Amino acid sequence: MPRKGEREKGRWGDVETGSRGNVKQPGFSPSLPLPVSPTPRLPHSPSPPLPISPDARPRVNVAGIDVDNLTEEETIAAIARLMESDGPHYLCVINAAKAVAASRDARLREALGQAALVTADGMSVVWAARLLGKRLKERVTGIDLFTQLLAQAAARGWSVFFFGAREESVRGVVERFTREHPGLRVAGWRNGYVDQAESNAVIEMIGGSGAEVLFVAMGSPAQEYWIAANLQRTGARFAMGVGGSFDHLSGHKRRAPRWMQRAGLEWLYRLLLEPRRLWRRYLVGNAQFIRLVIRQWRSTRQL
């Protein structure tokens, strides 16, 4: 976190609102007390028996990362089982840029390696698997999974905590989903601009909230580092990193039109909206990802 925070400081310092410097609350969000739904817990409905042991699960290695070969529905069923098993557990999503970052960053690789589930966030990962002669059933994006999990949380009575993004985004996402799912139990929320001194207080805040499911929206690799290092101490049973989802779902940033998402062009849309911030991630990142996959393809042919 501190590494990311330090790096982000200048970046957000240029932003008109909600920059790190402008975040009004150095500690907890003033938006507390939090809306806790009076809806009683619903009994858990039985989930289909999917194997959750890493050895038993079908996985496809793409650019050095083992990706679970599950549909979105199967992923949700697997998460429901994880919620009932000894934990805590977390899920990471993977795209081209993150795979390239992981090939150079041992800490990120380790965080991905310890994830109970890893799904393909980017179409590039699905295409790469195909090139390698393997098939991933479908792309399971972080933002869609997050939305589906909120519906599941409301139905199953899981209490959720939203951690990350700027105050207006996290607040907006809480407002939207409590409106859409009146039964949703929101344990709490906190913006993602946290320096090292505040980190323990945030962990205690999450722990004190009794949250069972934790969504962390700090971008990569900060969110993967944070979850791998701190999930155990938060007391949550399950966590996932959701990147910029709070910005998109609160309406503070637009998401690519459906046809671009389906065509695997979401990255291009984001690049056109924020070229200065994202050109390196997408243009350089995509080229490096292709190189990694071709190298892997060559090595599998030599076997």
Q: Which residues contribute to the site for ligand UDP (CB under 6 A)?
A: 4-5, 8, 164-166, 169, 192-193, 217-220, 243-244, 246-247
Cβ distance to ligand UDP smaller for residue 75 or 220: 220
Packing angle between helix 106-113 and helix 96-104, nearest 10 degrees? 120
Separation CA 88–CA 80 (nearest Å): 12
Least Å distance, CB 165 to ligand UDP, is: 3
Cβ distance to ligand UDP smaller for residue 163 or 238: 163
Least Å distance, CB 105 to ligand UDP, is: 14
Instruction: For strands 159-164 and 213-217, give the pairing.
Output: parallel
Q: What is the dihedral of CA 144, 5, 251, 234, to 10 degrees?
A: 50
Least Å distance, CB 181 to ligand UDP, is: 22
**Through-space distance between the first and last CA atoms of the chain, rounded to whole angstroms:** 40
Cβ distance to ligand UDP smaller for residue 85 or 196: 196
Least Å distance, CB 60 to ligand UDP, is: 22
Helices (H), 64-187: 72-84, 96-104, 106-113, 123-131, 142-156, 167-180
Least Å distance, CB 71 to ligand UDP, is: 22
Cβ distance to ligand UDP smaller for residue 212 or 247: 247
Other C-beta atoms lying within 10 Å of the C-beta of residue 3: 12
Cβ distance to ligand UDP smaller for residue 77 or 143: 143
Separation CA 57–CA 219 (nearest Å): 27
145: Cβ contacts below 8 Å, ≥ 6 apart: 72, 75, 76, 91, 93, 119, 240
Max CA-CA distance within the chain?
A: 60
Cβ distance to ligand UDP smaller for residue 225 or 246: 246
Cβ distance to ligand UDP smaller for residue 80 or 145: 145
Report DSSP state, residue 282.
Answer: I
Least Å distance, CB 91 to ligand UDP, is: 14
Residue closest to ligand UDP (Cβ): 192
Least Å distance, CB 81 to ligand UDP, is: 26
141: Cβ contacts below 8 Å, ≥ 6 apart: 93, 119, 121
